[in-house]
């Protein structure tokens, strides 16, 4: 469990001379669910973009499964394809549900995607909607389709950017159950970014607090909530931090 899939060393990200991330060091263990909590604007989504290799860091290195990449390095497509993200909004294509779920597989040149697509749709319990246009789905259904699209790829890492924000309790429960299942059954490493401390407590093995782009504390879920080291973590966990 403690083997690192990610190792971040001295990572910073600067946009227009404004530093939005100064992480220091962070290890992500293979097969764990790591929740990064923090208020809006703390740099959580930026962190996910770096972890998905969509953007390079301004300084520092990101080591992924033994491969180290700095600001100037080009990340090979094969590495990029071992990680995927589900964003807060479902961001589906104007196609059928089935086509959306199979989209990532087709990008990888896989032609026969039907079996994988329906297996993923079964996991999110939306097989019946396979032929429906994605634009006609409800918010919760669309987010489950987005999750199915990511799961069909069977990537090593699944990055979730506030995946249940603005969803009703039923869909929040359904998505949390799917995430737990993916982590337990497929061994997928999940990095969940959320400002919902309750969700972090329910899903994560470890939790990290990000404040103003700085990683304050990362610890196992029990310690994070019951005996935090940093007073800011304690304040955030108790819901006393104003943001």
Smaller CB separation from another protein, 54 or 184: 54
Smaller CB separation from another protein, 152 or 209: 152
Chain CA centroid to CA 238, Å: 24
Smaller CB separation from another protein, 103 or 118: 103
Smaller CB separation from another protein, 87 or 118: 87
| Contact positions vs another protein (CB under 8 A) | 49, 52, 54, 77, 80-81, 83-85, 87, 89, 91, 93-94, 103-104, 107-108, 135, 149-150, 153, 159
Least distance to another protein, CB of residue 70, Å: 20
Least distance to another protein, CB of residue 224, Å: 27
Angle at 209 between CA 64 and CA 223, to 5 degrees: 100
Q: Are 23 and 60 in contact (CB under 8 A)?
A: yes
Smaller CB separation from another protein, 60 or 104: 104
Smaller CB separation from another protein, 81 or 127: 81
Q: Are 64 and 6 in contact (CB under 8 A)?
A: yes
């Amino acid at each position: 469990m403690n083997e690192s899939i990610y190792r971040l060393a001295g990572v910073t990200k600067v946009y227009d001379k404004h530093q939005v991330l100064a992480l220091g060091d962070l290890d992500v263990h293979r097969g764990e669910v790591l929740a990064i909590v923090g208020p809006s604007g703390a740099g959580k989504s930026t962190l996910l973009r770096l972890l998905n290799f969509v953007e390079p860091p301004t300084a520092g290195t990101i080591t992924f499964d033994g491969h180290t990449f700095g600001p100037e390095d080009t990340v090979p497509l094969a590495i990029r394809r071992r990680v995927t993200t589900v964003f807060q909004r479902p961001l589906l294509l104007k196609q059928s549900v089935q086509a959306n779920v199979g989209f990532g597989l087709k990008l990888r040149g896989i032609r026969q995607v039907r079996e994988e697509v329906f297996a993923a749709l079964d996991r999110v319990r939306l097989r019946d909607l396979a032929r429906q246009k994605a634009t006609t789905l409800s918010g919760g259904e669309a987010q489950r389709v987005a999750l199915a699209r990511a799961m069909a790829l069977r990537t090593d890492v699944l990055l979730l950017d506030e995946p249940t924000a603005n969803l009703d309790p039923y869909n929040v429960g359904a998505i949390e159950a799917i995430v737990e299942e993916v982590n337990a059954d497929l061994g997928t490493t999940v990095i969940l970014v959320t400002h919902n401390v309750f969700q972090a407590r329910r899903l994560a093995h470890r939790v990290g607090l990000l404040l103003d782009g700085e990683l304050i504390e990362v610890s196992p879920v029990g310690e994070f909530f019951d005996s935090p080291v940093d007073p800011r973590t304690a304040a955030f966990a108790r819901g006393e931090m104003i943001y």
